[in-house]
Amino acid sequence: MSVIKNKYTTWPFFNEKKLLTIAGPCSAETEDQVYEIARKIAETGVKIFRAGVWKPRTRPGSFEGVGKEALPWIKKATRDFGLKSTVEVANRQHVLDALEAGIDILWIGARTTVNPFAVQEIAETIKGTDIPVLVKNPVNPDVDLWIGAIERLENAGITRIGAVHRGVSQFNKSVYRNRPEWEMAIELKKQRPDLLLICDPSHITGKRELVPLVSQIALDLMFDGLMIETHITPEEAWSDARQQITPETLKELLKELIVRDEFPHGIELSGFEDLRNTINDIDNQLIGLLSQRMNIVNDIARFKKEHNMSIFQENRWNQLLEEHLGYGASKGLNREFIRKIFNTIHSESIERQSSVLHNK
């Protein structure tokens, strides 16, 4: 874990023996509410306090935050309890107000990350400050857009940058509020291992009872920290009441979470390496079979071209997919996993057939 530890050297309140945790309410509602939550969070050992001041809402008329008025509340509470403060900013004025109030860390929300113009405006406003900044992933699964936002901040001279994974928007309903899309975070980690990577289980789940599970999954994937929405009376919260937990629950959660090592010291790895080598062999076989499959796809495409047949034949595809899903389930495989695999294979097959049909 040496690479991970090096990332934290200049971050506020980092303790290598503890998980980096950020907690606080979805929204700052009243001065008393902010103060009481900060007091309770300080008792859990968490050192960074978050609170929404400006809230981007999907539809007008929803609670959009107290605004600038809440900043002194946050600063007083965090100062009194020895915490660092962080708020979300979405434009130049937000940044100026937060800096004037002495906020310690800024974060850029998912709806802002998706807009390069807004990110550039923020970057230009904080240029010369080197204030720590966290960047949430965009609402759509676009790693390049996420990295682009981070690079805009780096170009402005910001050296303490962290990424926050909060899942992506989804059209279909599922158990989660936002689809986890762990592959997106893993790809970011692969391209930018130097960045602090934090998970926001509150926004991924949308349900407080799922926060522990997603938090542990994030740690199993070697995330560096968590941002968890915490409220003294979650059911009465002015925004996102369903996903917030109490400080008491937060304290218990942090006790129960397991922080794993990539390679724990003092264990015998030979048997483990044998398993990995077996997987490598199977992966090579899969690649070989996929190559054979695509060669057959090319032959099918030429036949379709010769006989003026359509590329996509919906009835056959739907029938095949159902057969694959059923067979996969009989082998103990998750249906959605099988669906993703064959949708990807089918997309590549369609593209290959189109290329043959148009002589590309």
Domain ranges, ordered by start, for the chain: 2-256, 270-357
The pLDDT of residue 3 = 33
CA 62 vs. chain centroid, Å, equals 25
CB neighbourhood size of 158 (10 A): 21
Q: What would the CATH number be for the domain defined by 270-357? A: 1.20.59.10
Q: Do 137 and 107 form a contact (C-beta atoms < 8 A)?
A: no
Q: Which helix (H) or strand (E) holds 74?
A: helix 71-80
- This prediction has a pTM of 0.80
**Least trusted range by pLDDT, from 51-65, 115-129, 222-236:** 51-65
Mapped onto helix, strand or coil, the DSSP state of residue 14 is: coil
351 CB-near residues (< 8 Å, 6+ apart): none
Judge contact between 310 and 304, C-beta under 8 A: yes
- CA-CA distance, 149 to 120, in Å (whole number)? 8
Q: How confident is the model at residue 1 (pLDDT cuts 50, 70, 90)?
A: very low
Q: Band of the pLDDT at 13, cuts 50, 70, 90?
A: low
Q: What is the mean pLDDT of residues 273-279?
A: 90
What residue has token string 């390496």? 273
pLDDT at 271: 83
CB 73 within 8 A of CB 52: no
DSSP state at residue 266 = T
Pairing outcome for strands 105-108 and 161-165: unpaired
Q: pLDDT confidence of 127, banded at 50, 70, 90?
A: very high
Q: What is the pLDDT of residue 263?
A: 66
Q: List the one residue out of 97, 88, 12 whose CA is nearest residue 48.
A: 12
Give me the chain's average pLDDT, please.
91
The predicted pLDDT at position 360 comes to 55
Give SS3 for 195. coil
User: Any idea what DSSP says for residue 172?
Assistant: S
Residue 173 is predicted with a pLDDT of 74
Note whether 2-256 and 270-357 share their fold: no
**Percent with pLDDT over 70 in the chain:** 93
Q: What angle do CA 112, 116, 122 make, to 5 degrees?
A: 65
Mean pLDDT of 60-75: 91
C-alpha closest to that of 239 among 39, 38, 57:
57
Report the candidate in 178, 223, 224 with the shortest Cα–Cα distance to residue 205: 178
Render 279-348 in DSSP notation, one character per residue: HHHHHHHHHHHHHHHHHHHHHHHHHHHHTT--S--HHHHHHHHHHHHHHHHHTT--HHHHHHHHHHHHHH
CA distance 7 to 5: 5
**pLDDT at residue number 10:** 66
φ, ψ dihedrals at 58, nearest 5°: -65, -40
CATH topology of domain 2-256: TIM Barrel (3.20.20)
| Tokens of residue 321, six digits | 């997919």
